[in-house]
Chain A
Amino acid sequence: MPESTDAEKVDINELKSGGFIKQNQKDLFTVRLRVPGGRLDIDKMIKIAAVAKKYSRMGYCHLSLRQAVEIIGVHIDDFDALVKELAEFGQPVASCGPRVRVPTACGGCEYNPHGIMDTQKKALEVDEKYFGINCHHKFKMAFSGCPIDCNRTTEMDLGFQGVVEPVWEEDPCTGCTLCEKACLEGAIVAAEDGKPIFYREKCVYCGDCIKACPTDAWTAKRKGWAVRIGGKHGRHPREANDVMLFLPDEKVFDFIEQTLDWYKRNGKRGERIGTTIDRIGIEKYRKEVARPFITA
């Protein structure tokens, strides 16, 4: 297919790794911006809007499923100027292709009452450390602050979801039964005297009982991350495998590094980690990566 002289100078694959995606329109590209956790400072938003207005030849942006702002219809001749202008206020371009993508996150515990873990902070740190590392295929990570799982960690190559383990003490309990009301899982049933019977196997570790308890008879024993591996959407969706509960916050980097290393050693080119797991078995992953974190 004939391309313009200017376009021939540019390696399309190289562009894609830099977050430039070819469009239907000749010489026009979508420019995907790097927005870890989907949080955008308002001043930055205004500056992005000004740049988009200047360079979009189609007059709009698209908000991608993975929380990126995409400027639509940027001419290939404008790439250098656009990247330079974005860099002036510290806005990098994201990536595509077979590598670690920008992590997504929910609003997290800072302002959302359901939040258990600080997803925004973690997404920023993880983006800083691992963004763009080459893999066999794309590698998507997401952080959800609680079991409502707004960021769909079950559909990610590697997903982290906040959990809190409740523990009950008899002394402060007045038998008010508010915890039974609060629990959507039927994991807490009030006995005759109103005091709770806890069915651990039904608990999803959301902490609603802790939030509802007026006397702090329910408190948080520990918080951490539920970890899921091998999920994906697309043509052949695969639900992630739950591989552990209560990964301590400070072990997240370790877990990511060991998973990427395992994927590198066991995966094949063009294969998502979920496919690798289907091919060689989740037990191998559990044994070699997850289990040491569980026993630690």
Chain B
Amino acid sequence: MSENVADEKIDLRGVLCPINFVKTKLKLEMMENEQVLEVTLDDGEAMRNVPRSIKEEGHKIIKVEKLDGGYKLFIKKSQ
């Protein structure tokens, strides 16, 4: 699995905290261990909160990509 290819994608731009995190969490729960989820988030509040919550859940952010007004996080599911 290349770090640039995600198994699943979810676009959470326009989704508020903490719903964006909850949706990320639910998506990850449906995936297999070690699979990669690509999450697109707004800059600002979402980018301040979601990454640390993902870390607290024990998953691994393997890559961060900057977009116009937002970011893509590549999250490896870790059980």
* B is a partner of A: yes
Measured between beta carbons, the chain B residues less than 8 angstroms from A181 are: 43, 47-48, 51, 71
Contact assessment for B64 and A177 in the assembled complex, using a CB-CB cutoff below 8 Å: yes
Residues 33-73 of B, flagged 1 when their CB comes within 8 A of A and 0 if not, give 00000000001000110011111100011111010000100
Among A113, A178, A208, A211, which residue has its beta carbon within 8 angstroms of that of B64?
A178
Contact assessment for A182 and B52 in the assembled complex, using a CB-CB cutoff below 8 Å: yes
- The total of interchain contacts (Cβ-Cβ below 8 angstroms) comes to 38
Cα of A181 to Cα of B66 in the assembled complex, Å:
12
A281 at the interface (CB under 8 A from B): no
Max chain B Cβ within 10 angstroms of own Cβ: one of A176, A177, A211, A214: A214
Measured between beta carbons, the chain A residues less than 8 angstroms from B71 are: 181
Measured between beta carbons, the chain A residues less than 8 angstroms from B63 are: 174, 176
Among B56, B60, B66, which residue has its beta carbon within 8 angstroms of that of A113?
B56
Given that A212-B51, A214-B51 are contacting pairs, would A178 and B56 also be in contact in the complex, using a CB cutoff of 8 Å? no
Cα of A288 to Cα of B8 in the assembled complex, Å:
62
B6 to chain A, nearest CB (A): 16
Q: In the complex, what residue of chain B is closest to A182 when comparing beta carbons?
A: B48
Q: In the complex, what residue of chain B is closest to A179 when comparing beta carbons?
A: B51
Q: In the complex, what residue of chain A is closest to B55 when comparing beta carbons?
A: A214
Which A residues, 194 to 210, have Cβ-Cβ distances below 8 Å to chain B? 208
Measured between beta carbons, the chain A residues less than 8 angstroms from B55 are: 211-214
Cα of A160 to Cα of B62 in the assembled complex, Å:
37
Contact assessment for A214 and B61 in the assembled complex, using a CB-CB cutoff below 8 Å: yes
Cα of A176 to Cα of B56 in the assembled complex, Å:
18
B42 to chain A, nearest CB (A): 11
Contact assessment for B61 and A211 in the assembled complex, using a CB-CB cutoff below 8 Å: no
Measured between beta carbons, the chain A residues less than 8 angstroms from B64 are: 176-178
Cα of A212 to Cα of B54 in the assembled complex, Å:
9
Cα of A178 to Cα of B55 in the assembled complex, Å:
12
B28 to chain A, nearest CB (A): 14
Cα of A208 to Cα of B45 in the assembled complex, Å:
13
Cα of A131 to Cα of B8 in the assembled complex, Å:
57
Measured between beta carbons, the chain B residues less than 8 angstroms from A208 are: 48, 52
Contact assessment for B52 and A176 in the assembled complex, using a CB-CB cutoff below 8 Å: no
Cα of A43 to Cα of B53 in the assembled complex, Å:
32
Cα of A184 to Cα of B52 in the assembled complex, Å:
14
B53 to chain A, nearest CB (A): 8
Measured between beta carbons, the chain B residues less than 8 angstroms from A184 are: 48
Cα of A184 to Cα of B48 in the assembled complex, Å:
9
Q: Which residues does A use to contact B, with CB under 8 Å? A: 113, 174, 176-178, 181-182, 184, 208, 211-214
Give the top 7 A-B pairs by smallest Cβ distance, nearest first: A214-B61, A176-B64, A211-B52, A181-B47, A212-B52, A178-B51, A212-B51
**6 sample A-B contacts, Cβ–Cβ < 8 Å, listed by A number:** A177-B64, A178-B51, A181-B47, A182-B48, A212-B48, A214-B51
Q: Which residues does B use to contact A, with CB under 8 Å? A: 43, 47-48, 51-56, 60-64, 66, 71
If A212-B52, A214-B62 are given as contacts, then 11 extra A-B residue pairs at C-beta distance below 8 Å, sorted by A number, are: A176-B61, A178-B47, A178-B61, A178-B64, A181-B47, A181-B51, A182-B51, A184-B48, A208-B48, A211-B56, A214-B55
